[in-house]
Amino acid sequence: MTRQSQSLKLHPDRLFSSDPAVVNIARELYNEIKDLPIVSPHGHTDPKWFNENPHFGNATELFIKPDHYVFRMLYSQGIDLTTLGIPEHGLEGDMARSKSVDPKKAWQIFADNYYLFAGTPSGYWLDAVFSDVFGFTEKLNSENAQDYYDKITAELATDAYKPHALMDRFNIELIATTEGALDSLEHHRGMAGTNMAKRVITTFRPDDVVDASREDFIDNVAKLGELTEQDTTTWQGYLNAIRIRREYFKKEGRATATDHGHPSAITADLSLSECEALFEKCRTGHANEQEQELFRGQMLTELAGMSIEDGLVMQIHPGAHRNHNQPIFNQFGRDKGADIPSQTEYVNALKPLLSKYGNHPKLKIILFTLDETTYSRELAPLAGHYPSLKLGPAWWFHDSPAGMLRFRQQTTETAGFYNTVGFNDDTRAFLSIPARHDVARRVDCRYLAELVANHQISIESAHELAYQLTYGLVKKAYNL
């Protein structure tokens, strides 16, 4: 089937509803906040970009290879990831073969299948980047693929498209990267004393030394001991080592938050002797799946206690069955689009942690979910009661216009607006950041406009809320 070329023009009132009364109010609210600085408190961009300020390589390296949203859709249609140049995992021959893929050919495959992204948030973000950042006026297709590739790659070779220039162009006030507990933070340390140090911070993600189900957990715990000069064969030495790394992240990476990507939200509050025995089983590789889960739960409680001590905001991102496609994991490694949302329970799961620390005035926990059925039943009531809890925005699979609207509709009546924390783009795709934040701003303005049109809040309240949802709440929540 031959697909006709389409113009690429983004409507100024996009995502503002189809109700003219709502559109008029949403437009008024949006015009007040659309140019506010971007604060990106949680993401996965490469800190090397901001330290060394290199040129991005080419269109394929920028848009396809790092973006699992893109290649998971292509893979779902039977496209081999090796044809896109996705590096294979741990095999020198295969790694070289993947790197030798012609990036123009990979881009052509992407363009030939660009129609697959219609109606998806990825398609929306990509169209916005192609239009707003590169100035294209015709939608990407098979025929213009190489023109797209050549223009993007040529632009990337100019100084105007280097990371520092794009930070200014996108009006990014602050962006947080995410590093594992063993990371040296060399690029964050390299930025020390520069203007970029004020704008790029790290986030402490200790999953590599906390998740006993990981294939590298035992080795990682040993490395943790070497890094900190602590005896991580003992429970107390292990906890002390984590405290030392948290302090390192605060000092060298200016971290204000931690992040925890556990399969579930389970927490525990075991006795000291139980903790010591469980840690010994995990450290020596003798723990079964249930014991590994219990250990993760105990560590969430331990880490909450550490957050009270050092002031780092705690983000809990549960509910992803990671690396669901085992052959893809074996061939390509982690983060290759095979993570699947799973049912997640919070009320009983979080009770041990909240019973111990939930009322502490120094604790800040931001809860996320991939299970939308928990919004009104569990998460909003919890955040609407415990002073330590706030709700993170619609995340990952729900980071979309409809997903953001559902989040507001199902949480606001119980948790209100001020128990939420603004928007997190949570992305590796640097150029999509302004498009993602713009979607969130437009959807929030639509939701507020509906409340105004329905006479539930005043227009004055809506203006204040639009500012808070865009800029104010995120800075307060993350201690920025």
- CATH number reported for the structural domain that contains residue 112 in this entry: 1.10.2020.10
pLDDT band for position 66 (cuts 50, 70, 90): confident
The answer on 203 and 72 residing in a single domain is no
Claim to verify: residue 302 and residue 422 sit in the same structural domain: yes
Confidence class of residue 384 from pLDDT cuts 50, 70 and 90? very high
The CA distance from 43 to 169, in Å, is 19
Q: Is the pLDDT of residue 93 over 70?
A: no
Mean pLDDT of the chain: 95
pLDDT at residue 94 greater than cutoff 50: no
- 145 closest CA partner among 196, 111, 168: 111
Check residue 96 and give its pLDDT: 39
Could you tell me the residue range of the domain that residue 124 belongs to?
55-161
Are residues 292 and 217 located together in one domain of the fold?
yes
**Which amino acid makes up residue 415?**
A
Q: Is the pLDDT of residue 91 over 80?
A: no
Residues 313 and 448 in one domain: yes
Is 11 within a domain?
no
Interhelix angle 272-283/289-310, rounded to 10 degrees, is: 120
Q: Does residue 69 lie within any of the structural domains?
A: yes
Examine the fold and report which residue of 130, 161, 192 is the final residue of a domain before the chain moves on: 161
Q: Is the pLDDT of residue 64 over 80?
A: yes
Q: What is the pLDDT of residue 265?
A: 98
Q: How far apart are CA 54 and CA 49, in angstroms?
A: 6
Long-range contacts: 329-334, Cβ < 8 Å, 24+?
329/89, 330/89, 331/81, 331/88, 331/89, 331/94, 332/81, 332/86, 332/87, 332/88, 332/89, 333/89, 333/90
The reply to whether 262 and 315 lie within a common domain is yes
Concatenating the DSSP letter of every residue in 57-111 gives --HHHHHTTT-HHHHHHHHHTT--GGGGTPPPSS-HHHHHHHHTS-HHHHHHHHH
> DSSP label at 200?
E
Whole-number Å distance between alpha carbons of 367 and 265? 9
pLDDT over 60 at 95, yes or no: no
Q: Are residues 206 and 108 in the same domain?
A: no
Task: Check residues 335 and 108 and name the one with the higher pLDDT.
Answer: 108
Q: Say whether both 155 and 200 belong to one domain.
A: no
pLDDT tens column, 270-285: 999 999 999 999 999 9
Whether 5 is in a domain gets the answer no
Given 161, 192, 211, the domain boundary residue is: 161
- Are 411 and 340 within one domain? yes
Q: How would you classify residue 96: left for phi > 0, otherwise alpha for psi between -120 and 50, otherwise beta?
A: alpha
* Tokens, residue 73: 């859709």
pLDDT of residue 415: 98
Indicate if the pLDDT at residue 19 is higher than 60: yes
- What is the rounded distance in angstroms from the CA atom of residue 282 to the CA atom of residue 295? 8
* Choice between 206 and 96, residue whose per-residue pLDDT is larger: 206
Tell me which of 163 and 89 has the higher pLDDT: 163
**Cβ of 243: how many Cβ atoms within 10 Å?**
16
301 and 420 within one domain: yes
Q: Tokens in use for 54?
A: 């290199």
- 371 in a domain, yes or no? yes
Exposure string over 127-163, b if 16+ CB within 10 A, otherwise e: bbbbbebeebebbbbbeebeebbebbbeebeeeebbb
Together in a domain, 201 and 342: yes
Q: What is the value of pTM for the model shown?
A: 0.95
- Are residues 210 and 184 part of one domain? yes
Quote the CA–CA distance of 357 and 231 in Å, as a whole number: 27
> What pLDDT is recorded for position 90?
52
Instruction: Say how many residues make up the chain.
Output: 480
**Residue 234: inside a domain:** yes
Of 161, 181, 199, the residue at which a domain comes to its end is 161
47 and 60 part of one domain: no
Write a three-state SS string for 288-317: CHHHHHHHHHHHHHHHHHHHHHHCCEEEEC
Q: Which of 180-194, 330-344, 410-424, 444-458 has the lowest mean pLDDT?
A: 330-344
Q: What is the pLDDT of residue 113?
A: 98
pLDDT of residue 92: 41
* pLDDT value of residue 156: 98
Inside any domain, residue 6: no
Spatial distance between the Cα atoms of 78 and 477, rounded to a whole number of angstroms = 42
pLDDT of residue 207: 98
One-letter amino acid for residue 408 of the chain: R
Query: Which amino acid type is present at position 264?
Result: S
pLDDT at 305: 98
Look up residue 166 and give its two tokens.
Answer: 């794009």
Range scoring the smallest mean pLDDT among 94-98, 109-113, 273-277, 306-310:
94-98
User: How many domains does the chain fold into?
Assistant: 2
> What letter represents residue 254's amino acid?
R
* Block residue for tokens 């739960």: 297
Dist. CA 374–CA 358, nearest whole Å: 19
Which residues are CB-contacts of 274 (< 8 A; sequence separation ≥ 6)? none
Q: Tokens 């795709």 — which residue?
A: 429
Q: Identify the CATH number of the domain in which residue 441 sits.
A: 3.20.20.140
pLDDT in tens, 186-236: 999 999 999 999 999 999 999 999 999 999 999 999 999 999 999 999 999
| 14 assigned to some structural domain | no
Spacing of C-alpha 19 from chain mean position: 32
What is the distance between the alpha carbons of residues 448 and 130, in angstroms, rounded to a whole number? Answer: 29
CB-based contacts of 240, cutoff 8 Å, min separation 6:
228, 230
Is 2 among the domain residues?
no
User: 39 near 471, Cβ under 8 Å?
Assistant: yes
Residue 98 has a pLDDT of: 47
